[in-house]
């Protein structure tokens, strides 16, 4: 449980600023959020299938400047 607390604790009090929709060539779509908390910005990607029959996982990355993050033609940040 401790690794999950360390992963998610910096997000407490943050504000969801944008959502991420990133389709893959094999037909899957990654969904995520951009969260700002103070001067830090995080990218959170949900890694689980839509049926919810797996344990799931949130991938959390601290971004130095998400406006400079490369986005391909099919991916978009709303």
Higher pLDDT, 53 or 6: 6
What string of DSSP letters covers 13-58?
A: T-EEEEEEEEE-TTS-EEEEEEEEETTEEEEEEEES-TT--S--EE
For residues 34-39, average pLDDT: 92
- Condensed to tens digits (0 to 9), the pLDDT of residues 10-26 reads 999 999 999 988 888 88
pLDDT at 76: 55
pTM, whole model, 2 decimals? 0.70
For residue 59, give the H/E element and its range.
strand 57-63
What domain count does the chain have? Answer: 1
pLDDT at 58: 80
Return the bridge partners of 35, or none. Answer: 16, 42
The one-character DSSP state at 64 is: S
Domain region containing 10: 2-77
């Amino acid at each position: 449980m401790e690794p999950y607390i360390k992963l998610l604790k910096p997000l407490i009090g943050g504000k969801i600023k944008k959502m991420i929709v990133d389709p893959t060539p094999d037909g899957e779509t990654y969904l995520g959020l951009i969260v700002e908390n103070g001067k830090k910005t995080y990218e959170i990607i949900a890694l689980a299938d839509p049926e919810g029959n797996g344990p799931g996982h949130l991938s959390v990355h601290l971004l130095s400047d998400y406006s400079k993050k490369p986005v391909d033609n099919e991916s978009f940040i709303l």
